[in-house]
Amino acid sequence: MPGRRVCVYCASSSYDPELLGIATEVGAAIARRGWSLVSGGGHVSMMGAVAEAARDGGARTVGVIPEGLRVREVADTAADELVVVTTMRERKREMEERSDAFLTLPGGIGTMEEMFEMWTSASLGFHHKPVVLYDPIGFYRPLLDWVGGLVESGLVSPQAFDHLVVRDEVEAALDACGGRR
């Protein structure tokens, strides 16, 4: 599906070679499909790797970054479009509005917060965009087990998992974002 805009949530602090490789693989795969990348606008860690790989492959990249993080996350000034906002809430809203699908890679509490907001919003019917968790190394297995326990205890509806697609292969994850190769 040419023109698809995929928002990628991922770490902005890890320099683990395996995680950087995952981000690079995703950015390159987005570019091969002729899609665009929407990211958090940082040029460090996984966030920078996914954007750089997407650009290297010819994809359009849009970064959305709060003014207060321009220095800390080293703003991705090479982005085709760099949107500077005031707050994290504005960042998430801007990323959501500019995206057709949400793809989560390994990350920390910021990444989790972004993914959970999109997953919750989809579960409540506030949007109908794919929410995909790309987990090639089992990084999220403990988290998914925990949410499964919440379902078993009755705190979370079993239908919640109808609104999150989990994949361990990059092409399958992108297929789940709404378009085949």
Q: What percent of the chain has pLDDT over 90?
A: 90
pTM of the model: 0.94
Buried residues in 92-131 as b, exposed as e (16+ CB within 10 A):
bebbbeebbbbbbbbbeebbeebbebbbebbbeeeeebbb
Quick one: pLDDT band at residue 3, thresholds 50, 70, 90?
A: confident
pLDDT of residue 179: 60
Structure confidence at residue 1 as a pLDDT band (50, 70, 90): very low
β-partners of residue 6 are 37, 101
CATH architecture of 5-176: 3-Layer(aba) Sandwich (3.40)
Q: Is the pLDDT of residue 180 over 60?
A: no
Q: Tens digits of per-residue pLDDT, 98-127?
A: 999 999 999 999 999 999 999 999 999 999
Assess whether pLDDT exceeds 90 at residue 162: yes
Which distant-in-sequence residues (6+ apart) come within 8 Å of 120 by Cβ? none
Beta strands in 86-126, from DSSP E residues, in sequence order: 101-104
Summarize the confidence of residues 129-150 as an average pLDDT: 97
Pairing assessment for the beta strands 5-9 and 36-39 based on DSSP bridges: parallel
In sequence order, the β-bridge partners of residue 132 are 103, 165
Give me the mean pLDDT over the 31-45 stretch.
96
CB 8 within 8 A of CB 103: yes
Q: Where are the domains of the chain?
A: 5-176
